[in-house]
Amino acid sequence: MADLSLGEAARALDVSVDTLRRWDRAGKIRTVRDEGNRRRVPASEVERLSSHPDRHRTGDTFSARNRFVGVVRSVEVDGVMALVEIEAGPHRITAAITRDAVEELGLAEGVEATAAVKATSVMIERGTDRG
């Protein structure tokens, strides 16, 4: 693992260079000195102090990260709208889409499809003891 400059480490940790200097004086971060006596931050220290976990990547150019690949289990068309249910592993995702989209995508029972969930708000409920 390579050592990072204070600027590189600060950007990676989303803090200022001054904050890194204070952390160094306080012993919160371990730095090393290069041959020019400049502080360097080991990559392992940046990893240790990172405030966010590594996020999964889609491996695609599509922006949605919450993608459920599965099989269409049902399509219910009513007027201009349709409900499409996809079974993706242990999950069942139901989407309300247009009749035109169903026809253009060729969605029918047994067809492979991907549900991409892109929402501005997601609610999570903590599990309860069911024992």
pLDDT of residue 37: 92
Q: What is the pLDDT of residue 67?
A: 83
Domain ranges of the chain: 3-49, 66-117
CA distance 40 to 77: 62
Instruction: Return the pLDDT at 117.
Output: 83
Q: Which CATH number is associated with domain 3-49?
A: 1.10.1660.10
Q: What is the pTM of this model?
A: 0.49
Residue-level pLDDT at 87: 95
Q: Indicate the fold that domain 66-117 takes in CATH.
A: OB fold (Dihydrolipoamide Acetyltransferase, E2P) (2.40.50)
Specify the pairing of strand 32-33 against strand 112-117.
Answer: unpaired
Report yes or no: 88 and 67 within 8 Å, Cβ to Cβ. Answer: no
Q: For each successive 10 residues of the chain (131 residues), what is the average pLDDT?
A: 88 90 93 92 90 61 75 96 95 92 95 85 69 55
Q: Which of 21, 109, 67 is nearest to 29 (CA)?
A: 21
